[in-house]
Structures are given as structure tokens and as C-alpha cells.
Copies of this chain bind each other. A is one copy, B any other.
């Protein structure tokens, strides 16, 4: 990758990837910074700047080859590596993640789900076994796990994070509505659903101010 990539660019990368995937699926081979900018609500010069920043794929006057650029961004995003995942919590959010089409398509492979609910334990979801929480430690000592998805209530999340850390898991995708304390060598990315809904209610409350 060419030079330093800013946080703002990194935040935009998944958006690039999503749009390029849609374009590719629609059979588009080539796109200009102008057209991509219109789709993404960015200026053409912003698009060119971003893309230059991670390696320079455009050809003056020709635009970008959609598949090539998508492949390159996927690589930067680490999507060319398969990620072995477990999902803690087989409630609605855990099941939604397990069934989310792009989850497995982009190489996030779920090998087990865990739950405390005895009705769910022993069943499978999309061929993934639902195991009892007591087996978490023995499972992660026997299987390599890249990412644990936390889809469980707030009060259980912190304790589970430490169990995962002790078992060697170093990346967490957290849906519990709380900010978790974690060791420095553990990566935690939060999906705080209410944050996004509150952005919406903020904008609704203030939309007549501009």
C-alpha cells in the first residue's frame, strides 16, 4: 500500500468494496471517478485521492477496472484470508449474523455457536452446531478461532470477553450494547445499533435548523 492510509479512508473502504461488488454483479466492467463519486456521494477528486492513497489504480481518462479495484480493496480489507468465527449467543442477532449472506460469502466461516438456552443447545443453524456455553473453553482450545461474535446481553458480555481472551481469541465483533474493557492485544469492533438510530433521531429533531 502506498504511504499512510488515514482513518477516514479506512472507514470509507468497506463502502468502496460494497459499491464495486454491486457494480461487478451488475456487469459493469469500468467506472470513472465521476460515476463512482455520484454513487457514493463523494466528489470525483475525493475518489481519486482515496484510490491513489492505497495504490493508484486509475488510468487517466479510462477510469477504474471494477473487478481489479474490488479485488485490490478486498485484499487491503483482509477479505482474501478466510476468518474462522464463532458466535456467542444464538438469539435473533446471533442467528441474523449466522444467516447474513455476505458473512460467509466474504470468507467469514462460522464453525460453532454457543448459547445458555438448553432448548437451542444440540440443534444446528445453517449446519452450524449450537453448543453449551460450558464448552467454550474446551472448544477454543481444540479449534483455531479468529473472530468471536458477541451477540449476547450486556451483563454477560464482559465476562465472556475475558474467557475468550484466556482461550486465545484476539478479535471480537461486539453487538452487546456496551463498551467492553479489553486487553491491548485484543481487537474489538462494536456494532452499537442504538448509536445509529440516535443519529437518525438527532437528524429528525434538527432537520429544520439548516
Contact = CB atoms under 8 A, between A and B. Distances in A.
Given A78-B202, A147-B200, 10 more contacts: A13-B198, A14-B199, A17-B198, A18-B177, A18-B179, A19-B179, A79-B198, A83-B201, A103-B194, A108-B197
Interface string A74-99: 00111101010000000111011101
Interface in A143-194: 146-147, 171, 173, 177-179, 187, 189-194
A102 B15 CA distance: 28
A2 interface: no
Contacts of A177: 18, 102
Interface of A: 10-11, 13-15, 17-19, 22, 39-40, 76-79, 81, 83, 91-93, 95-97, 99-100, 102-103, 106, 108, 146-147, 171, 173, 177-179, 187, 189-207
A93 to B, nearest CB: 5
A195 B13 CA distance: 8
Given A18-B192, A92-B96, A103 B197 contact: yes
Contact of A77 (B13, B103, B202): B202
A195 to B, nearest CB: 4
